[in-house]
Chain A
Amino acid sequence: EAQVTQNPRYLITVTGKKLTVTCSQNMNHEYMSWYRQDPGLGLRQIYYSMNVEVTDKGDVPEGYKVSRKEKRNFPLILESPSPNQTSLYFCASSLSPPPTVGEAFFGQGTRLTVV
Chain B
Amino acid sequence: QQQVKQSPQSLIVQKGGISIINCAYENTAFDYFPWYQQFPGKGPALLIAIRPDVSEKKEGRFTISFNKSAKQFSLHIMDSQPGDSATYFCAASGTASKLTFGTGTRLQVTL
Contact = CB atoms under 8 A, between A and B. Distances in A.
Interface residues of A, number: 27
Contact of A4 (B31, B41, B43, B98): B43
Interface string B75-95: 000000000000001000111
A90 B98 contact: no
Given A58-B98, A99-B32, A90 B44 contact: yes
Residue from B31, B41, B97 having most chain A Cβ neighbours under 10 A: B97
Given A97-B98, A98-B97, A41 B43 contact: no
A53 to B, nearest CB: 16
A33 B43 CA distance: 13
Interface string A1-45: 000100000000000000000000000000101010000111111
Given A101-B32, A103-B46, A43 B95 contact: no
Contact of B93 (A41, A43, A98, A108): A98
A109 B98 contact: no
A40 B103 contact: yes
A81 interface: no
A109 B93 contact: no
A90 B41 CA distance: 11
Residue from B31, B43, B98, B100 having most chain A Cβ neighbours under 10 A: B43
A106 interface: yes
B95 to A, nearest CB: 7
B80 to A, nearest CB: 22
Nearest to A98: B93
Nearest to A107: B43
B43 A44 contact: no
A63 B43 CA distance: 23
B19 interface: no
Interface of B: 6, 9, 30-32, 34, 41-46, 49, 51, 89, 93-95, 97-104
Interface of A: 4, 31, 33, 35, 40-45, 48, 50, 58-59, 90, 92, 97-101, 103-104, 106-109
CB-based closest 10 A-B pairs: A106-B43, A98-B93, A99-B32, A97-B97, A42-B103, A99-B93, A43-B101, A103-B46, A42-B101, A42-B104
